[in-house]
Structure formats: structure tokens, C-alpha cells
Amino acid sequence: MPDTLKEIILNEIKSHGAMNLGAFTSMALCHPEHGYYMNGDPFGAEGDFTTAPEISQMFGEVIGAWVIDVWMQMGQPSSVNLIECGPGRGTLMLDILRAGKSVDGFVAAVQIHFVEASEGLRQKQAETLKGYNVSWHGDISDITGDIPCIILGNEFLDALPIEQLKRGEKGWQKRMVAVNDVQEFMFTWADAEKELTQCLPSKTVSHKRYEVAPVRNQFISSCVDLLNASGGVALFIDYGYTTSHYGDTLQAVKKHEYVDVLKGIGACDITSHIDFDALSRHARGQGVHVEPIAVQGAFLTKLGIKHRLLALKNTAFKTKSLDDATVLIKTMEQSLDRLVDNAQMGDLFKVMCFHNGDDLKPAGF
Ligand code: SAH
């Protein structure tokens, strides 16, 4: 009988002591055999959570318009790396390429790269992108920067682990995962190493809990290295906040419900909100230009998502019966609301963009 993921982590903790929160969540999500993302397709109404590209094709189409615009501003290079990190089912890329078909030279210029940990999702992405040439990578640092790059990621950063810190009587402590008497996981605290506390915003004196994300910083550094080597731009969309503050945003989701982070290991998604303030500071410190963080609703609206809806409505009236068109249009309107409405995804989701080209003026900010 093969070990379950729970047994593997329990054994690891028994042999080596309590585990950093980041190491625990990394194993839960990306253990090569039993990690959550290795178990197949978690997306959509039937799955555990629904992402923007899965809500509506309009999302990917206007992101496609954004990509085409930056490609044009870059001087329409005849070869460009279009890199998507954590592409899920591959839906966003497919919608971008469909939008790009109407633009001379764009699809021919694009070299598609996916950064994807899950073998099962790689297969799904290959099916979605059938007919296109795609290269897969385990890590963004595996991509060489010999041609300009456009780097994208929707709901990717939230899957990269965080650590949680609090100030104790004797200094900073980090949150760990240990094992209790009945062989269940439990949280504990241990002294935090200096490297972790260096990620904190300055003047942090409260005894509340703070989140830091060295792995996200490291990932951003790898993106910056790529842009510095070859020029280009990066765009990341995710849930999070724009002013660093204390708080606990660690969450686990299964079948669209919040569940206990320490239970059902490998069977639920574990994520946390992005501190875009900290990530922007980190990226600026690496020497790239970071646009002011935008909210998703305003960003998509500036890119013309409402005009896209109008165009799709016209097509529906022309190609479908009145009844079918009416039903379809209602669904499209609801999807658009979900993406841009401030009470839904419009305000919670933020857009981060950085680049090293002085002449580049990415749309939407
Ligand atoms: N962008 C998609 C999917 C988001 S879910 C969408 O919007 O629908 C997160 C994606 O990131 C999945 O494809 C998952 O397998 C991948 N992923 C998570 N952690 C990863 C890591 N450390 N390295 C590479 N891919 C990872």
C-alpha cells in the first residue's frame, strides 16, 4: 500500500521536527505524487473553485488585447516568448491566441511557454492547445531569455507558499506545523530566522500576525532576471491587498467552501492573499518599473470588456434564435458582473504589472 500524503508528512515531521508553514503547504499542493494539483482538474462549478478565464471567454480576449498592445509597443518582434505561469486548463492562453488571430504576424511570433508543476494539468493544457507548439517548464528560471518575454499569471501567485510571523516576548516567531498525540496536524510557533523577518515591512511592532512570502519574492526575482536578459513585461492577477498590514489570510477551499487548512491534506486547495505592496517593493528593489496596482474591475473595463460584451451580444442575435440569444446574453452579462463588480471579483482581485522598457506604457493602469 503506498503512503498517503498525510502519512508522508507525519513521518517527515516525526523524523525532522515541526515543519515550516511554507514547506507544509508546498507538499500539500505540489508533492509530485499526491499533491493537490497532481490529482486532476480542480476547476469550475463541478470542481473546487472557479477562476476568471473559466467564468468567461471575455476575460482571456481582453487580456489578449492587452498582450497584443504590449507586443506592438515592443515593436512587433518577430519572436516573443509568451509565458504563462500556472495555466490551469490552458483556457486563458487559448482565448488570447484566438484574439490574436486577427492581428498580422502575432500568432506566428509567439513562442508559448507554460510553467506548470502538475503532469495531469500539463496533459489537459496540451489538449486545449492542440495544434500549437507549447514548451513546458517546472520553474520560470528554466526559461532562457534570448528573445523578449511577455509573462502572465492568473491565480498563480496565491499558490506559492507564505510564512506567518508574530512578535513574541523574546523576538519574532514563525508558525509551524507539528503533530499532536492523536496523530493529527497542529500549529505551533518557533523562533524565526533573520532572513524571514527581513521580509517584514519596516516599523512592524504589533503583536499581531504578519505574512511574508520569500518564495513569491524569489519567483518575482526570476521574472525580473528574465526581463533584464531579454526585455519585456509581466502581468499577474490575483486576490490580495495593496497596503501591507497584519492579518491571517491562509485559507483552504474544497468544493467552493472554506475548510480546515490542516485537514484533508492533498484534497483541498491551500492559498493566501497576495501582499502586492510587498511584492511591488521587492520588484522595484530589483530595478524594474512597477505600474501602480490596479483592481481587476477597473483594469478590465479600461481594456474594453464591456465593448467586447456588446460585440458578443450582436453576434448572438445574428447567429441564434431569439430565445437562445436571450439566454446566452443573460449568462454573459452575469459573467461580466462577476468579473468586474466590486462586490464580486472586481475589487478583491488586483493586477500587478512590471517591465524594464522605459518606452512601454501598458494599458489599464
Ligand atoms: N491560471 C489558471 C489556474 C490557476 S490554479 C486559471 O486561472 O484558471 C494554479 C495553477 O498553478 C495550476 O495550474 C497549478 O497546477 C499551478 N501551480 C501551482 N503551484 C505551482 C508551482 N509551484 N509551480 C508551477 N505551477 C504551479
Q: How does DSSP assign 194-248, residue by residue?
A: HHHHTTSPTT---SSEEEE-HHHHHHHHHHHHHHHHH-EEEEEEEEEESS-----
* pLDDT for 2 beyond 70: no
Q: 71: CA distance to ligand 1 center in Å?
A: 24
For 76-94, b where at least 16 C-beta lie within 10 A, e where not — what string? eeeebbbbbbbbbbbbbbb
Q: Per mean pLDDT, which range of 31-40, 69-78, 127-136 is the poorest?
A: 31-40
Cβ 84 under 6 angstroms from ligand 1: no
pLDDT at 1 over 60: no
296 burial class (0-12, 13-18, 19+ CB within 10 angstroms)?
buried
Query: Does the beta carbon of 53 lie inside 6 Å of ligand 1?
Result: yes
Pocket-testing residue among 115, 142, 156, 223, ligand 1, by greatest number of atoms within 8 A of Cβ: 156
Q: Are 31 and 8 in contact (CB under 8 A)?
A: yes
* Cβ of residue 42 lying under 6 Å from some atom of ligand 1: no
How far is Cα 27 from Cα 6, in angstroms, rounded to an integer? Answer: 10
Q: Is residue 218 scored above 90 in pLDDT? A: yes
Model pLDDT, residue 199? 84
pLDDT at 357 over 80: no
pLDDT at 358 over 80: no
Element (H, E) at 166: strand 163-168
Going by the DSSP 8-state scheme, the letter that residue 140 receives in this structure is G
Average pLDDT of 282-291?
A: 96
Q: pLDDT tens digits, residue range 249-262?
A: 999 999 999 999 99
- Gap from CA of 116 to ligand 1 centroid (Å): 6
Q: Of all protein residues, whose CA lies closest to atom 11 belonging to ligand 1? A: 86
For ligand 1, atom 23, name the residue with the nearest CA.
117
Atom 20 of ligand 1, nearest CA residue: 117
Q: How close is the Cα of 117 to the center of ligand 1, in Å?
A: 7
Check if 159 has its Cβ closer than 6 Å to any atom of ligand 1. Answer: yes
Asked whether the predicted pLDDT for residue 239 surpasses 60, the reply is yes
Asked whether 140 lines ligand 1 (CB < 6 A), one says no
Q: Ligand 1 center to residue 85 CA distance, Å?
A: 7
Distances (CA, A) of 349 to 86, 147, 169, 203: 17, 30, 36, 27
End-to-end CA distance of the chain: 54
The C-alpha cell at 258 is 472554506
Q: Is 279's C-beta closer than 6 angstroms to any atom of ligand 1?
A: no
**Is residue 202's pLDDT more than 80?**
no
Extract the C-alpha cell encoding 118. 502538475
The band of 227, judged by pLDDT with boundaries at 50, 70 and 90, is very high
Could you tell me if the CB of 118 is within 6 A of ligand 1?
yes
Query: Does ligand 1 lie within 6 Å of residue 64's CB atom?
Result: no
What is the topology classification, in CATH, of domain 38-161+212-300+343-355? Rossmann fold (3.40.50)
User: What does the alpha-carbon distance between residue 16 and residue 90 come to, in Å, rounded to a whole number?
Assistant: 38
Instruction: Please tell me the distance between residue 131's alpha carbon and the centre of ligand 1 in angstroms.
Output: 22
Taking alpha carbons only, the member of 225, 158, 173, 165 closest to residue 199 is: 165
pLDDT at 168: 80
**Predicted confidence (pLDDT) at residue 204 exceeds the cutoff of 80:** no
- 43-84: per-residue pLDDT in tens? 998 999 999 999 999 999 999 999 999 999 999 999 999 999
Position 169 confidence tier, pLDDT thresholds 50, 70, 90: confident
Q: Is the dihedral of CA 256, 258, 261, 265 positive or negative?
A: negative
